Amino acid sequence: MSRPTARVLTLLELLQSGGLRTVAELADRLGVDGRTVRRYVDQLVDLDLPVEAVRGRYGGYRLASGYRLPPLMLSDDEALAVLLGLVAGRRAGLTTADTASETAAAKIRRVLPAPLARRLDTVLESLAFTTPPGEFATPDADVLLTVADAVRHRRPVSIRYTDRDGRRSERPLHPYGIVAHSGRWYVTGADPGIGEERTFRLDRIADARTLPGSFDEPAGPDPAQRVLSGFATADYRYEVVLRIHATVDQIRARLPASVASVTDAEFGPDPDPGAGAGAGAGAESGSASASRAGSGAGEPGAGDGAEPAAEGWLRVELRVERLDWLPAVLASLDRPFVIERPDELRDLVTALADRLASCARRA
């Protein structure tokens, strides 16, 4: 490739990156004078590329907005970023059609110069991950784009949805936002048919079409927080209510927003003069604390470096299908807590405390 031709292609690449480029800037990047820059611009115009000239002291050249360019030219760093993004998106479930990321990566590799393609393949072949790739259901691209457009323009949509039990329905939705969480896509919004906020998995929406009209999103949490709150209050088998003496950050380290809601408690545990702050399951208040199992140890905050003033009794609520994992989580919090309900959880915590105490006494 001749040097003038290479410079014209470099000029196109600079203009593709967006914004207004002054003649002086382009001349410096191309290593030519301003007159040569103008000649190169004329060559692009002769190829029917819409290069606009902006006059004035701060004028220069730019590409007309909205123009559909020929195949993009990527630098080495840009090509690597695109391929790594496709790999990461596929592993995280942030893709649409099952094969879209693979075919996109193959097309990019096909047009890369051989030396660059070999270098990028070396990076991808050398890359290892600490977690296995997930198996995620992907949303339909048309559904995703339709819902995203409705979110942006505050337009209602009608969706055909299949719930987790296989029941199909068609309903209107005022979509507030699209949220990616743990490898899945969700849309959250208001269902005007029932007057409630709902969250739907995008991969379970078979069809979405825009309806006439518009809506106003009410004040409140952002879409991501709405989705997480929906997970924490989902209709699972057990409703768990706890009071935990800790900071919000300490609780969130073990019970994230997608699992539990945390609010200020109106009161702590019932007084029990005969027990320490970490009273066991047999306390008069009916509390259970695996964090002090078998030890009767100390005051809140002791031994963990936290300032006592930063802690307080917090009410923690969650809905779960199984209880067997919660005792170990509560023990790992290492904070005093009270179980309000269910009684089955109190029995499981007591059993865990007994097992821990038994293990601790072994020689």
pLDDT digits (tens, 9 = 90+) for 249-289: 999 999 988 888 898 876 656 544 333 333 333 333 333 33
CA distance 342 to 314: 17
Residue 14's pLDDT is 83
> Cβ atoms within 10 A of the Cβ of 176, count?
23
Confidence of residue 70 (pLDDT cuts 50, 70, 90): low
Residue 306's pLDDT is 43
- Parallel/antiparallel/unpaired status of strands 157-162 and 168-181: antiparallel
Question: Within 13 Å and on the Cβ side, how many CA atoms surround 191?
Answer: 14
Residue 282's pLDDT is 35
The percentage of residues in the chain with a pLDDT greater than 90, rounded to a whole number, is 32
Residue 146's pLDDT is 92
Q: 75 or 149, which is more confident? A: 149
Confidence of residue 168 (pLDDT cuts 50, 70, 90): very high
With both helix axes pointing from N to C terminus, report the angle between 76-92 and 114-126 in degrees, rounded to the nearest 10. Answer: 40
Residue 98's pLDDT is 60
- Mean pLDDT is lowest, of 158-167, 172-181, 203-212, 281-290, for 281-290
Encode pLDDT of 106-143 as tens digits: 777 777 778 888 888 888 888 887 777 767 777 888 89
> Cβ atoms within 10 A of the Cβ of 134, count?
12
Encode pLDDT of 189-214 as tens digits: 999 988 888 899 999 999 999 999 99
Residue 289's pLDDT is 38
Residue 73's pLDDT is 66
Residue 356 pLDDT greater than 60, yes or no: yes
Q: What is the mean pLDDT of the chain?
A: 80
Residue 303 pLDDT greater than 50, yes or no: no
The answer to whether 202 and 143 have CB atoms below 8 angstroms apart is yes
Confidence of residue 69 (pLDDT cuts 50, 70, 90): low
CA distance 356 to 350: 10
Residue 59 pLDDT greater than 50, yes or no: yes
Confidence of residue 48 (pLDDT cuts 50, 70, 90): confident
The answer to whether 46 and 40 have CB atoms below 8 angstroms apart is no
Residue 241 pLDDT greater than 60, yes or no: yes
The answer to whether 159 and 142 have CB atoms below 8 angstroms apart is no
